[in-house]
Amino acid sequence: MDQYSAPAQIAYNCGCLPERYLPDARGKGIKTDNRMARYRRDIFRLVEAALVGLFFVQTVRFLYGTLYAHVGSANLVAQTNDPSLIAGVPGVVDMASVQTELAVTAAAALMPLLAVLFGRLWFSPAIAAIVVAAGRVFMTANGGTTFGVAGAAIAAGAAGLYLAIVAVRRPGMLPVCLILGFAGDQMIRLYGNTADVTWRADFLPTQTIISLMLFAIAALTVIFERIAASEEKTQEPRGEIGGWSAFAFGGLLYLEFAVLGLSNTVAHRAGVDYITVAPWLTVATLLPLVAEIRELARRFLGIFDGQYRGWVWFLMIGLLLVLGFRFTGMLAAAALIVAQLMISLSWWWVVQPSDGRRNFTAIGVIFGVMVFLLLTGADFLTYEYAFIRGIPEPYGSLLRAFRGLGWVVVLFATLLCGLPAILARKRLPWRGGRLIETLAALALVVGAGVLAASLAHPIVASQPATTDQLRIATLNLHGGYSLYFNSDLNEIEQKIRASGVDVVLLQEVEAGRLVSFGVDQPAWLARQLNMQVEYFPTNEGLQGLAVLTRLPVQQAEGLLLTSQGKQMGVQFLRLMAPDRAELHVYNTQLGFLLKDSGQSVQAQEQDQTQQIQEIFGFINQNDPALTSRTVVGGTFNNVPFSDIYQYMAQSYIDPFAGLQAEKAVTWNLVNGVTSRVDYLWLRNITSRFVGVVPMPQSTHNMAVVEIGLLQSTG
């Protein structure tokens, strides 16, 4: 029986061969007797692509968050009167270092252009893969320093070069590379409770071994390619990323990195626990590798007329995303998981068959990255619109209008993803395959799903240490960053643990944004501390309030507050204390008072007044008789004895009122400016101890109060 070229078969199955080449793909002129060499080549190609894809995803996430932090740090350093006083402070980066990092990253982003020079070399994919491996080691070895950023930038740029070369020379491998990369990232983050443990310095020996493996695999791939090429009589089919495919490439990168690529981001959009979503999302990501799934997709779209099938594909994905964004619960989660399946299938639309003339893939990859950055910039504005200052009108108001428009950015990205399907009316990119291919891919998918389910373990909460008292704390996480944008959740976890608190009110938490490295901060802290977590989103599902508790949760809900600036909210938990009496906890953050925000300070103060009145109404709704033990805490963004403070003091006790001002500081700014803006207000509760725990890993300190559990009034 004739044996046919595996790359040609893959290219045909993936829709990367033009129809006129189908006879050749089915067996004319591409015979080979050296089956073992081809099988080995294909296996090594697969492993090489998987590792490069994984390193690409990891380095892009690292670069995005680190550069955001360094730019923010340099901006604050420039505002510091005496920079020498903060030398050695974690996170401090000067503007010169940031400029160097940005220059290196920009240069690395142009590395795909080297595909024009080296793409014709038969060993060029191996060179790119080896550079990726080296850069990834350099990133782990140097962490968030300038050298670490340079290593990550080189690894990401070399991965872009690899993608450009593979899109031309092995078109069927590009979707496989990215799908396995995102799936691998999901698995690693499940192991690390949504954090990437491979970035840590203690992972360097293992990372070095893995990178050496990629080096060896790339070399072996080259060897087996030469052996197989000597037996084949035709050249492998060529692909291209150009035109509208470049837009689709950028849109798909955005959807995977910012919306659907992590179980915690999908879960928070749908309002469910990420351990419920995790295995199904991994399966949905990998399913398109199964040849029969691609064949089913091809048959489904094939029933529609060519001029409509692309619109059907786009509208189906858009509808699923709208359902996932607008509703909560398992139905919304299921919609987003199916959307992820369709997005994974869409990678096959990115690589178009090459006509053999000029190939613009290198430019297409770079342009796709630019589209990705533009989309993530728009996504950033949907969270940070309230902090846009110093921009003349009407442009400032226009940028601030991004509030609540995250779903619009997502739908626009989806439209970009659908452009090749909309315009390629005579082409369906998916093909089925041999039974052995389907079974092998299906085994991979099932195994990955089982592993993901085993890694996504539920939280096991420990009980309070004592039964006659509780410690309650409030902490503004500031997105997981210190004043000068150092990120260290491990230190925050250790400080919370050492304080012995039983309930922690958290504000400004991130649940998976790119600028916070994709980490679900409240869930990560809860698992490290063995505490239950209740999260209430206030902005786009991935930013909001959270409460960690060792007490059983009887009820949990939240309310969005009227907000002229950044969207604020209040979170309510009804807890069962060890003495079997209820404890009502309210966690909130009021609007900011910013001098140059486009609104007058008076208007912002009125905004705060409206918010505090809504909080009181919410409290009265949950406790009409006002007899329950109640704690109201959070960031009130106002100083003691202000109007807001006096309003609260009419109904609640400030246990920190007798503490010296310098010992009650909860907010630290540049140039040594401090203030108290975080409070714990008590009603029907006796306080036994109060204190403020310095938190260098945030701009805010943690306020702690110890309360007795005997009913009292005060």
**What average pLDDT does the structure give for the chain?**
89
The helix (H) or strand (E) run that includes residue 539 is: strand 532-539
pLDDT in tens, 89-114: 999 999 999 999 999 999 999 999 99
Quickly state the pLDDT bin for 17 (edges 50, 70, 90). very low
**Least reliable range by pLDDT among 5-14, 298-307, 323-332, 507-516:** 5-14
pLDDT for 681: 97
C-alpha 26: how far from chain center? 42
Mean pLDDT of all residues in 410-415:
95
Give the model confidence (pLDDT) of 328-355 as tens digits: 999 999 999 999 999 999 999 999 888 7
CB 155 within 8 A of CB 131: yes
Question: What is the C-alpha R_g of the chain?
Answer: 27
Nearest CA to 211 out of 444, 41, 48 is that of 48
What percent of the chain has pLDDT above 90?
A: 71
Specify whether 369 is located in the same domain as 513: no
If asked whether residues 526 and 410 sit together in one domain, one would say: no
Q: What is the mean pLDDT of residues 260-276?
A: 94
d(CA 599, CA 493): 37
Report the domain count for the chain.
2
667 versus 405: which is more confidently predicted? Answer: 667
State which of 458, 491, 510 marks the end of a domain. Answer: 458
Q: Please name the residues in contact with 65: beta carbons below 8 A apart, sequence gap of 6 or more.
A: 487, 514, 515, 516, 517, 518
Task: Say what percent of the chain tops pLDDT 70.
Answer: 89
Secondary structure (3-state) at 462: coil
pLDDT band at 170 (very low <50, low <70, confident <90, very high): confident
Domain boundary among 458, 489, 506: 458
Nearest to 155, CA basis, from 49, 59, 57, 68: 59
pLDDT at 600 over 70: no
Residue after which a domain boundary falls, among 434, 458, 482: 458
Q: What per-residue confidence (pLDDT) applies to 699?
A: 94
Side by side, which strands form the sheet with 503-510? 532-539, 543-549, 503-510, 469-476, 702-708, 687-693
Tell me: pLDDT of 9 over 90: no
pLDDT of residue 24: 40
Could you tell me if residue 231 is inside a domain? no
pLDDT at 645: 94
Same domain, 414 and 473: no
Inform me whether the pLDDT recorded for 601 exceeds 80: no
pLDDT tens sequence across 210-251: 999 999 999 998 888 777 666 655 566 788 998 899 999 999
Are 547 and 686 in the same domain?
A: yes
> What residues contact residue 674 under an 8 Å CB cut-off, 6+ apart?
662, 665, 667, 668
CATH code of the domain covering residue 569: 3.60.10.10
* Cα gap 592→604, rounded to integer Å: 7
- Is 11 a residue whose pLDDT tops 50? no
Give yes or no for residue 12 having a pLDDT over 50: no
Please tell me the predicted confidence (pLDDT) of residue 427: 84
Q: Which CATH number characterizes residue 424's domain?
A: 1.20.1250
First-last CA distance in the chain: 90
3-state secondary structure of 277: helix
Sole residue written with tokens 């009980």: 463
Provide the residue range defining the domain that includes 615. 469-708
Q: What is the pLDDT of residue 553?
A: 96
pLDDT value, residue 457: 84
Provide the 8-state DSSP code for 30. -
Find out whether the peptide bond into 394 is cis, omega within 30 degrees of 0.
Answer: yes
398 with 477, same domain? no
| Together in a domain, 510 and 561 | yes
Which of 215-229, 236-250, 259-273, 594-608 is predicted least confidently?
Answer: 594-608
pLDDT band at 519 (very low <50, low <70, confident <90, very high): very high
- Is 304 contained in some domain? yes
pLDDT grade, residue 420 (50/70/90)? very high
- Residue 401, pLDDT > 80, answer no
Residue 460 reports pLDDT greater than 90: no
pLDDT value of position 6? 42
369 lies in the same domain as 481: no
pLDDT at 381 over 60: yes
CA distance 105 to 99: 10
Residues 665 and 600 in one domain: yes
Query: Burial, 291: exposed, middle or buried (Cβ in 10 Å; 0-12, 13-18, 19+)?
Result: buried
Of 84 and 37, the structure prediction assigns the larger pLDDT to 84
**Residue 321 pLDDT exceeds 80:** yes
